[in-house]
A and B are shown apart, each in its own frame.
Chain A
């Protein structure tokens, strides 16, 4: 896995990912359906896994060999569906459910390695279910959401990322904060911007974007001001009209969403947030080295935002996600499609999406011979 660590996306050439002809997975039990993916997205977490940079935290909740891919729109006997990938107590047949699943907070299910399935955080990291990057897989009925006829496949494949964004946008307990910052304008960042507009309704939404196409999209999706990453502190300072304290902003933004998850972005986030307010970590950070003095001194709340389930209003996140995809026209974020046999190029493209003017890269399974 050494080669994967050096160059983004190189894992696809050297690592343990390969295109294979394998048997379809068996149905683990009643309530399970066989589905055939139409489009399957490549997510940043998939890239991290392939590159071998994934945190060891995931080891107990992953079972090899697995087919990656958890952003799925597929054909099923129920019609076109979008998959909610988390393998919680219900698909696992665990009764009674854990306290989280009972409360509908399926994203926080703790029984991910137990029950009738192999360990697996979600479809796309479990040996028993198959995954999106294939022509056939299985999913439990509780995981399937019907796709309206007027919604395109491209829109549908964005539902899962949109659901993460909706959940993240609803994590902070803030009511119409005056200044909100989103760091990063990849898929996560852009979807989060759209979700924040609708669910958090901030006064001013400031975003940082490295690449010009990202910048354009950020503005279209609802950001008021977009700057380059190394100018974010200055931009926040100017918006809040506050002094600088060393290299940190004095007053700062009420909520900062870190949709990058690197040492630099976390450092920036802690230094631009208002004291006693929140930094929502949407991007998966891994093992990072950050000076936490600023967090301690400014009494900041660092909050993780993982994934969907049921929101505080009682609605399922996925339902809200469908609305978001439709209202914000998130289908335009699908920039490129690839067939499975060109998986190396696909992963390359996804790993360098920003620089190549792309956002979401997906596998197109609709033309596959063995569907």
Chain B
């Protein structure tokens, strides 16, 4: 029986608490009176995932027919799916998408469908490598589809293969991948890692263009998404839902959503998922061995150790059918695993940032991504109110090296070196620089032909933290490289104690502190 998440009141007997710090960890003693929010333990996975998938496809929810009756010989079928930005860390084989797609294709084969195309709906993210695709879909699917050009990756800059389906009543463009729009049936397979994912967001970010994204991936939209992990209160989702409904009226969509539990770390790192006072002697030995050896190892090697790790997360639910009906069930399952009730906000919010976020799988967590992970994702993992009060301080822990992956994030380097040197105000940045980066032909070339994020994606990283930047009084990064931290307008501190002292200048003496014991992921339901 997995225990739910809870809030710990730190007292003098509380052991030091684990803080992630990129590819490393620290144990920090929090002052008495601090609170630590712990995630729920992983819920039990489905005993028979393949059976559950088949069930879901045969008994869909919402206004939808069972999948086999939607398939017939001679039809044009497209199966779109999330890219490897989810789940985090990448799950051990077989991935949810492999399971679902194999069963879907089995049904398609039984119906005699020949014209099938698989599309990786990665939006403006980078293309996946062959190894990543093989890991996600398995060798059987890869070897059957990729050599024949039937496994493709969405290209948001291929204007010959984008169709403007229409504009919503708010004037938002719905511009979608041509193959997807012109199919008799569009099936979307997702992995709903966090509450932000899924629903109409799947198609409207994954298969769209810059023109379509601009309507919600902008500073005002993000500032009014409080938070984007809580769709009913998210401006991002309002816009996306309008667009999605327009698309659904033009194309037949069969949505298949899956959720996973939070069994995040493999056995050699299991201490990361356990409450500190429940660490066995083996866990303590593991922690010491791992953290000491990581200190001695060069960053590149530490990165490859961590990125080679595959997570034992398993499927906890699968639902299929009409997009909105499916997504409602999905969110129930996500909340079942993630929601932790918390009373009241704090003056100071602390968080340890791990080595990976959605945008650096098999890559480097550069300073811009540190900001996005901390002030974008972690800060917004709330319903109701943020964990920190307005004007409070956020303290994050990460080495924040001035290091960028030149192939994956070329526009990020320029954004960090040139744009942030001029200003850190999101609105100014959007006004002065976004168009330039979004239309720069070199970035477009790299996005289409290399493995690079789109030129404008760096801006989205900064916008993702726009709500936090507005809300919070100061941001301090413990253990961060001072140059890089200052470039973002934040303050560096060498220890948590120093950071708390610096915070006192902003929030006053003896501040209330809440620490997010994340990962594994949770959403704070703050009242």
Q: Which residues of A contact B442 (CB under 8 A)?
A: 237, 241-244, 250
CA–CA, A241 and B444, complex, Å? 11
Q: Which residues of A contact B11 (CB under 8 A)?
A: none
CA–CA, A231 and B414, complex, Å? 8
- How many whole Å from A220's CB to the nearest CB in chain B? 15
Asked if B413 is at the interface (CB within 8 A of a chain A CB), the reply is yes
Q: Which residue of A lies closest to B406 (CB)?
A: A234
Known A238-B414, A238-B436; 4 more pairs at CB < 8 Å: A231-B417, A234-B417, A235-B414, A244-B442
CA–CA, A160 and B414, complex, Å? 37
CA–CA, A57 and B413, complex, Å? 42
Residue from A225, A241, A244, A250 within 8 A of B418 (CB atoms)? A225
Asked if A228 is at the interface (CB within 8 A of a chain B CB), the reply is yes
CA–CA, A241 and B414, complex, Å? 12
Q: Which residues of A contact B440 (CB under 8 A)?
A: 238, 241
Which 7 A/B pairs are nearest by Cβ-Cβ distance? A231-B417, A243-B442, A238-B414, A241-B440, A234-B414, A235-B418, A227-B417
Q: Which residue of A lies closest to B440 (CB)?
A: A241
Asked if B445 is at the interface (CB within 8 A of a chain A CB), the reply is yes
Contact with B along A263-299 (1 / 0, CB 8 A): 0000000000000000000000000000000000000
CA–CA, A192 and B269, complex, Å? 58
Q: Which residue of B lies closest to A230 (CB)?
A: B417
Residue from A235, A241, A244 within 8 A of B417 (CB atoms)? A235
Q: Which residues of A contact B417 (CB under 8 A)?
A: 227-228, 231, 234-235
- How many whole Å from A290's CB to the nearest CB in chain B? 24
Given contacts A234-B413, A234-B414, A238-B440, contact A243 B421 (CB under 8 A): no
Q: Which residues of B contact A228 (CB under 8 A)?
A: 417
- Asked whether B418 lies within 8 Å of A243 as measured between CB atoms, the reply is no
Write the residues of chain B forming the contact surface with A, with a CB cutoff of 8 angstroms: 413-414, 417-418, 421, 436, 440-442, 445
- Asked whether A227 lies within 8 Å of B445 as measured between CB atoms, the reply is no
Q: Which residues of B contact A226 (CB under 8 A)?
A: 421
- Asked whether A231 lies within 8 Å of B418 as measured between CB atoms, the reply is yes
- Asked whether A227 lies within 8 Å of B418 as measured between CB atoms, the reply is yes
Q: Give 13 pairs: A residue, B residue, CB < 8 Å, sorted on A.
A: A227-B417, A227-B418, A227-B421, A231-B413, A231-B418, A234-B413, A235-B414, A237-B442, A238-B418, A238-B436, A241-B440, A241-B441, A243-B445
Q: Which residue of B lies closest to A250 (CB)?
A: B442
Q: Which residues of B contact A250 (CB under 8 A)?
A: 442
Q: Which residue of B lies closest to A225 (CB)?
A: B418
CA–CA, A238 and B441, complex, Å? 10
Q: Which residue of B lies closest to A234 (CB)?
A: B414
Q: Which residues of A contact B421 (CB under 8 A)?
A: 226-227
Q: Which residue of B lies closest to A243 (CB)?
A: B442
CA–CA, A227 and B419, complex, Å? 10
CA–CA, A243 and B446, complex, Å? 10
Write the residues of chain A forming the contact surface with B, with a CB cutoff of 8 angstroms: 225-228, 231, 234-235, 237-238, 241-244, 250
CA–CA, A238 and B458, complex, Å? 14
- How many whole Å from A204's CB to the nearest CB in chain B? 12
Q: Which residue of A lies closest to B418 (CB)?
A: A235
CA–CA, A244 and B414, complex, Å? 14
Q: Which residues of B contact A243 (CB under 8 A)?
A: 441-442, 445
Q: Which residues of A contact B418 (CB under 8 A)?
A: 225, 227, 231, 234-235, 238
Q: Which residue of A lies closest to B421 (CB)?
A: A227
Q: Which residues of B contact A235 (CB under 8 A)?
A: 414, 417-418
CA–CA, A228 and B484, complex, Å? 13
CA–CA, A238 and B421, complex, Å? 15
Q: Which residues of B contact A242 (CB under 8 A)?
A: 441-442
Q: Which residue of B lies closest to A244 (CB)?
A: B442
Q: Which residues of B contact A234 (CB under 8 A)?
A: 413-414, 417-418
CA–CA, A231 and B440, complex, Å? 18
- How many whole Å from A231's CB to the nearest CB in chain B? 4
CA–CA, A250 and B440, complex, Å? 13
- How many whole Å from B251's CB to the nearest CB in chain A? 36
CA–CA, A167 and B502, complex, Å? 51
- How many whole Å from B43's CB to the nearest CB in chain A? 47
CA–CA, A261 and B445, complex, Å? 34
CA–CA, A237 and B410, complex, Å? 12
Q: Which residues of A contact B441 (CB under 8 A)?
A: 241-243
- How many whole Å from A247's CB to the nearest CB in chain B? 11
- How many whole Å from B407's CB to the nearest CB in chain A? 12
Q: Which residues of A contact B413 (CB under 8 A)?
A: 231, 234
- How many whole Å from A311's CB to the nearest CB in chain B? 34
CA–CA, A227 and B487, complex, Å? 13
CA–CA, A227 and B15, complex, Å? 46
CA–CA, A250 and B441, complex, Å? 12
Q: Which residues of B contact A237 (CB under 8 A)?
A: 442
CA–CA, A177 and B406, complex, Å? 31
- How many whole Å from B419's CB to the nearest CB in chain A? 10
- How many whole Å from A269's CB to the nearest CB in chain B? 19
CA–CA, A225 and B421, complex, Å? 9
- How many whole Å from A174's CB to the nearest CB in chain B? 24
- How many whole Å from A126's CB to the nearest CB in chain B? 45
CA–CA, A237 and B455, complex, Å? 13
CA–CA, A234 and B421, complex, Å? 14
Q: Which residue of A lies closest to B441 (CB)?
A: A241
- How many whole Å from A207's CB to the nearest CB in chain B? 12
CA–CA, A225 and B433, complex, Å? 13
CA–CA, A235 and B441, complex, Å? 15
Q: Which residues of A contact B414 (CB under 8 A)?
A: 234-235, 238
CA–CA, A235 and B416, complex, Å? 11
Q: Which residues of B contact A231 (CB under 8 A)?
A: 413, 417-418
- How many whole Å from B307's CB to the nearest CB in chain A? 26
CA–CA, A244 and B445, complex, Å? 11
Q: Which residues of B contact A225 (CB under 8 A)?
A: 418
Q: Which residues of A contact B445 (CB under 8 A)?
A: 243
Q: Which residue of A lies closest to B417 (CB)?
A: A231
Q: Which residues of B contact A241 (CB under 8 A)?
A: 436, 440-442
